Structure 1
Amino acid sequence: MTTAYTIYLVEDEENLSGVLKPYMEKEGWEVTVFDNGTEALEAKEDPPHLWVLDIMLPGTDGYQILKEIRSSKKGEVPVIFISARDQDLDRVLGLEMGSDDYLAKPFLPQELIIRAKKLLSRIYGESQTETRRTEVNNYYIDPEARTVTDAENNDTHIELTTKEMDLILLLTEEVGKALSREDIIEHVWGENYFGSERAVDDVVRRVRKKMPRIHLETLYGYGYRVLPS
């Protein structure tokens, strides 16, 4: 399981912080949002595992906050800068002042998650960010990152749609367990889905095409199961 890291997100754009906070909390992280630099500085003596710090802030800007963080007793906490200003200038200044990474707005929330995971892993050790992975027929399935890689093809990342990923995660939670089409519909599409059960067959067909070594068995008149290697 992922360690319950504490994250301080310093961002005055409420819409952006409202999107980023749930994404980070899905990783099991404890996220505190500050919408101005003054309040963020008041918390620096009780530091998080990671700061995600906007540069342009009301009151005290991100550069000053970074300077204060680095001069404090616990100043080695990693920092990711985010900014919508001159990307090259902010990146260079931020790195010179001691930031560990930089993201230019606009960016995808998942990009922040990936960079944060890599940074936390590097700073605090691989063992603390170790996630539970399932291996089936040399496919490695990571339920937290929602990724599938092919170990027989140089760890190539297999692109799956949301429904394809939901299906493979469900069927590999307990390899060998049979699931009815009704069970799959409920877990993947939701209990309010009113479409045809043939949608399950279509997603299964696409998964088989993308993951040809997966032993995804059809149980005629019932449903599907993934068989062990």
Structure 2
Amino acid sequence: MSYTVYLVEDEQNLSEVLKAYMEKEGWTVEIYDNGDDAIAAIDKPPHLWVLDIMLPGTDGYQILKGIREKEGEVPVIFISARDQDLDRVLGLEMGSDDYLAKPFLPQELIIRAKKLLSRVYGSQVQEVKKRELNDYVIDPEARTVTDRLDNNEVIDLTTKEMDLILLLTEELGKALSREDIIEQVWGENYFGSERAVDDVVRRVRKKMDRIHLETLYGYGYRVLSS
């Protein structure tokens, strides 16, 4: 699949090298060398943002905030040469999907970007089918869940709630550990507590009370077909 990537980086040499690597993958790359121009591009979202934190004008944190307010689902990879731990934690808390500390190898960015794009958009060739479970209709492509018993009303799910139900219903009947769920829903660079999984499960159960979402104590969760 051909993806569009917005690369927001004020170091010209680095941005040109990264652009060359990404274009070898067949991706279309737009470079923004300052935060103000990047903010103006939010209304035409790409498939992926690669976003430096320290920029002339608007910084990366404000750009990320704008992205999440207007296009909450678009994946974002943060890059920074500043305090790694602080930037990583702040970025992930604000909604970035991954983080790379400078200096890094361009191929490392490509590997992480591919994994992220695959997770978010899946395979173009693979047909995305709706899933029906206990009179709920789960549409992975539209990222919606409708309730047949409530006049096909769309259930209001947050991003993480939707990601969780998609994961558990894709692996229907399979036991997934909290670690598995964290890696696939929050990303492998997540630093928070595993209790975040329990909180999202609790909310999903409340909103979809006919789903048989089983707790495996001391391990994780699974969804059963009935």
TM range (shorter): 0.5 to 0.7
Identical residues among aligned pairs (%): 79
Tell me the distance in 2 between the aligned counterparts of 1:128 and 1:80. Answer: 25
Counterpart selection for 1:120 from 117, 122, 127:
117
SS in structure 2 opposite 1:53? strand
Change (3 A) 1:79 1:40: same
Deviations 1:162-182 (A, max 9, x none): xxxxxxxxxxxxxxxxxxxxx
- Measure how far apart 1:19 and its partner are: 0.6
Structure 1 residue ranges (4+ consecutive) displaced by more than 3 angstroms after TM superposition: 126-129
Q: Indicate whether 1:100 and 2:116 are aligned.
A: no
SS in structure 1 opposite 2:7? strand
Matches within 5 A, 1:1-229: 3-72=1-70, 74-127=71-124
Tell me the distance in 2 between the aligned counterparts of 1:81 and 1:126. Answer: 24
Change (3 A) 1:128 1:105: farther
- Measure how far apart 1:126 and its partner are: 3.4
SS in structure 2 opposite 1:126? coil
- Contact 1:81 1:101 (C-alpha < 8 Å) held by counterparts: yes
- Measure how far apart 1:83 and its partner are: 0.1
Tell me the distance in 1 between the aligned counterparts of 2:125 and 2:68. Answer: 24
Change (3 A) 1:30 1:122: same
Change (3 A) 1:86 1:24: same
Q: TM-score, normalised by structure 1?
A: 0.54
- Measure how far apart 1:127 and its partner are: 4.2
Tell me the distance in 1 between the aligned counterparts of 2:116 and 2:36. Answer: 25
How many residues of Structure 1 are paired with residues of Structure 2 in the alignment? Answer: 126
Taking only aligned residues, the RMSD between alpha carbons, in angstroms, comes to 1.2
- Measure how far apart 1:85 and its partner are: 0.3
- Measure how far apart 1:18 and its partner are: 1.0
Structure 2 gaps of 5+ residues are 127-226
Structure 1 gaps of 5+ residues are 130-229
Deviations 1:98-155 (A, max 9, x none): 00000000000000000000000000013469xxxxxxxxxxxxxxxxxxxxxxxxxx
Change (3 A) 1:18 1:105: same
| 1:209 matched residue in structure 2 | none
Tell me the distance in 2 between the aligned counterparts of 1:30 and 1:71. Answer: 24
Q: TM-score, normalised by structure 2?
A: 0.55
SS in structure 2 opposite 1:47? coil
**Which of the pair has more CA radius of gyration?**
1
